[in-house]
Amino acid sequence: MNRWITDAILKPQSAETVTPENRQKATLNYILWCAVVLIFLVAFVRLFEWLRAPTKMNSFFLANTLFGILILVFAVNLNNKHKVKTAGILFLIIGFHLCLTAYPIRNPDQVLLYFALPTAAASFIIRSWSSILYAVFCTAGFNIVYFAYFQGEPYPVFSLFCLLMISVITSLASKVVKQMSDQLVTAYDTTIEGWSQALEMRNRETEGHSHRVAELTMQLVKKLNVDESQWDHIRRGVLLHDIGKMGVPDNILCKPGPLTAAETTIMRNHPQYALRLLEPIPYLKPALDIPYCHHEKWNGTGYPRGLKGEDIPLAARIFSVIDVWDAMRSARSYRAEIPEAQVVEYLRSESGRSFDPRVIKAFFEMMGFPLYAAEHSSFISRPRQIEKIES
């Protein structure tokens, strides 16, 4: 089988399916591709019938099936771009349309059978009550078709009842799945919070650091219009940004003064320790950019890989600014808290060297700092001897 098809349709998305949005995305992905295959088979049959008898009616049904395939593929593209709700609504609309126009309707039960798949899928790809709402619309559409074309046939009460039961059962099932998913996410995130607190308990000087930088980072992420689907991963990455320091010996991690060259080398191994710890956990793989890359520098002089410019993941570029800001503004056993003006001047001077200029600009706007020193003379008058910090 073609590798692209395998990756797009059959590859498990274990790292993605825990959050409600990504669970919906994965579910909709399978439903859309199944619908594409199903409608393609219908189109093949309609094409064969059209070749045998190219009547206006056969042309109408063939055109509708081909149109349906195009719309479904477009919905797949939207889904892959994390526009899950839009893709789901589009699927339900085109599903309703195709149920009435993809194939000739010969009896009323057939109409209700066609409506069963999108009704069952609705609650899993939109909201829990969507199946019930969709079944109501389908019932209305069915009654129009019935009274227009099948008045002489018995009203299919049992089939209609079955469709409504499918909608209720699916709605309840989706609620159960959502609750289980939410409980799993809560359990994971509580564990992450616990890891973060355990590291801060080990090094009292950094107490509260993770939660402070998490709040500021998320504000900056929104300021920079980062895709909302990445927000949870970024927050987890922030809380775990120094998890690799679990592998650093206490005599180095908790040393009350500057580190020696040898100790600095050991300390700089903590991004690799983070990678080794988190990479085997599928749920946390999307959050790895920050723990592994937040010490990379815009000019390529950072560590562990010496990445440069936009080769550094955006989440890490954003967080590195916040991390340095909070570290310099916090007191340490070997120095007092650095005045705000000096920290601002340091960040300004390192724009384009240590930090992404676009991120610095957004941070300064968010905090209300002038981007250029000339705009505020008090910054110029402050001393420029600023200690460089490896937090």
Q: How high is the pLDDT of residue 14?
A: 44
Q: How high is the pLDDT of residue 284?
A: 85
- Residue 32 is which amino acid? L
303, 268 Cβ separation under 8 angstroms? yes
pTM over 0.75: no
363, 217 Cβ separation under 8 angstroms? no
Q: Give, rounded to a whole angstrom, the gap between the first and last alpha carbons of the chain.
A: 49
Torsion, Cα of 31, 34, 40, 43 (10° steps): -70
- One digit per residue, pLDDT tens: the chain, 391 residues? 444 444 444 444 444 445 667 777 888 888 888 888 889 898 898 899 889 888 888 899 899 999 999 999 999 988 888 788 888 889 989 988 888 888 888 888 888 888 888 898 888 888 888 999 999 988 988 888 888 888 788 899 999 999 999 999 999 998 888 888 788 788 888 888 887 777 777 665 556 678 888 899 999 999 999 988 788 899 999 998 888 888 888 888 777 778 888 888 888 999 999 999 888 888 888 889 999 999 999 999 999 999 999 999 999 999 999 999 988 887 666 677 888 889 999 999 999 999 999 999 999 999 888 877 654 444 433 433 343 354 4
Domains and CATH numbers, the chain: 3-180 (no CATH), 205-381 (1.10.3210.10)
